[in-house]
Amino acid sequence: MRRHAPAVLKDGLRRDGPVTRPGSMQFTALYDRAAARLELAGEAAMEDAPELERALRDLQGAPPAALQVDLARAALRDIGPAWLLHDAIAGLRGAGVDVSIHGAPPEHFAYFDTLLSREAGALARPSTPSLMDRLAGFGRSLEERGRSWHEALVFGGRLIASAAFAWRSLKRLRLPSVVRHMHETGVQAIPIVAVIALLISVISAYIGAQQLRPFGAEIFTVDLVAIGVLRELGVLLTAIMVAGRTGSAYAAELGVMKLNDEVDALESMGMNPYEVLVLPRVVALVLVMPLLTVVADAMGLAGGALLTGYLLDLPWSQFVMRLDAAIAPTTFWAGLVKAPVFGLLIALTGTLRGLQVRESSRELGRLTTVAVVQSIFLVIFADALFAIFFLEIDF
């Protein structure tokens, strides 16, 4: 049992190991049940609290009618263990036990009496929720949900208003800021987007070739990869990457600015935070998403060509011919047209959640997560709507 080694700290440091206490003696606490005597000896530091606690637990398990506490050979140097002893004695006295102390009571006891005389009462602890509390909590979460929708509406309205205003002059569009965000969210994202697109097309080409081989239809792997990448995978994977990269960055940046009162500072200077902070980010991402999608498409086709060339021994020229036959003129545009919409959804979610950060840094972490999860959800949901829409109009 762990109780037998009280003097060893959790991390294996001996109590008296590295920190020597000059002239001190190992602390021991013993409760002798037969004699109803609690005997302490040695100098008690905070690290000896477990040893003291063990003796006190023995004592409190079967309290005697009259208790002797022997402190003649003990020095309660640190205040923590002294408090535990003081508290235990007070508890026993409260329960009608006659406690007598031998030796001088620790000097801290007088200090405790002044402390206790200042404030009565007990430690507050988090209450366990009753049915009413739970109902109230449910109500609050509904209200919270409603407020979140309301905030989203206000956000959309103010953004449209500032966009309409910004449209009239180039200065209000804040081109330097837009360009900076395009660089951060677009140019810097090219390597990761390219690699992901390449890998995904390699994977789908590999699986496609394997499945189509029994039918002797391996050549259609080219169709599979081309249509899959151009219509769906290229733009969808780009959007998911951008949601993880940029959606979270937008939320965190704006959240930190909110916590630092930077948003209030902007407003106090008569600047509209929607125009200065939100609009450039949204515009940048709407412009950048199609460009990234083109990169992803190109890399996806390159990956397809690479793998079909390797697996099916298909020369490059044949791949291009097959590609030409496989895709309709609209295939590329069916993917690309979705890109700005996805960009808009990601940017709006990220900036909205960022601006919702209030009071604490805990909030910041939560809302950043929410921004990423929701923007990915919205992207996939919008993609489903696009799929149905394209099917209906035969695009």
Partner 1 sequence: MQAPVIRVRDVVNRFGAQVVHDGVSFDVAPGEIFGIVGGSGSGKSVLLKTLLGLRRPDSGSVELEGRDITAMDDRELRAIKRRYGVTFQHGALFTSLTVAENVTLPVAEALELDEASLERLVELRLRMVGLPLEAAAKHPAQLSGGMVKRAALARALALDPAILFLDEPTAGLDPIAATAFDDLVLYLRDTLHLTIVMVTHDLDTLLRTCDRVAVLVDGKVIVDTLEGIVANDHPWIRHYFHGARGRSMAIAREDAGGA
8 A C-beta contact, residue 385 and residue 377: no
For the window 2-41, what string marks contact with partner 1 as x by the rule CB under 8 A? x---x--xxx-x---xxx----------------------
| Site stretch for partner 1 (CB under 8 A), options 76-84, 237-245, 282-290, 295-303 | 76-84
* CA distance to 86, 262, 285, 337, 340, per residue, from 291 (Å): 72, 32, 10, 11, 9
Output 126 or 176, the one with its CB closest to partner 1.
Answer: 126
Please tell me whether residue 144 binds partner 1 under the rule CB under 8 A: no
8 A C-beta contact, residue 245 and residue 288: no
Torsion, Cα 114 115 119 124, to 10 degrees, reads -160
Please tell me whether residue 124 binds partner 1 under the rule CB under 8 A: yes
Vertex 178, ends 174 and 181: CA angle to 5°?
145
| Site stretch for partner 1 (CB under 8 A), options 94-102, 234-242, 355-363, 368-376 | 355-363
Site for partner 1 in 218-247 (CB under 8 A): none
**Tokens at residue 232, please?**
């769906």
- DSSP-derived secondary structure for 271-328: --HIIIIIHHHHHHHHHHHHHHHHHHHHHHHHHHHHHHHHHS---HHHHHHHHHHH--
Please tell me whether residue 151 binds partner 1 under the rule CB under 8 A: no
d(CA 176, CA 181): 9
Q: Which one of residues 4, 125, 168, 171 is an interface residue with partner 1 (CB under 8 A)?
A: 125
Output 10 or 171, the one with its CB closest to partner 1.
Answer: 10
Give me the least distance between CB of 231 and partner 1, in Å please: 44
Residue 254 Ramachandran class (φ > 0 left, ψ -120 to 50 alpha, else beta) = alpha
Give me the least distance between CB of 52 and partner 1, in Å please: 9
**Tokens at residue 285, please?**
């991402």
Please tell me whether residue 362 binds partner 1 under the rule CB under 8 A: yes
Please tell me whether residue 122 binds partner 1 under the rule CB under 8 A: yes
CB count, 10 Å around CB of 356? Answer: 21
Q: Which one of residues 27, 31, 83, 319 is an interface residue with partner 1 (CB under 8 A)?
A: 83
Q: Which one of residues 25, 35, 46, 136 is an interface residue with partner 1 (CB under 8 A)?
A: 46
Give me the least distance between CB of 262 and partner 1, in Å please: 17
Bridge partner list, 43: 75
Output 89 or 205, the one with its CB closest to partner 1.
Answer: 89
Q: Which parts of this chain interact with partner 1 (CB under 8 A)?
A: 2, 6, 9-11, 13, 17-19, 45-47, 49-50, 53, 57, 78-80, 83-84, 87, 111, 115-116, 118-119, 121-127, 359-362
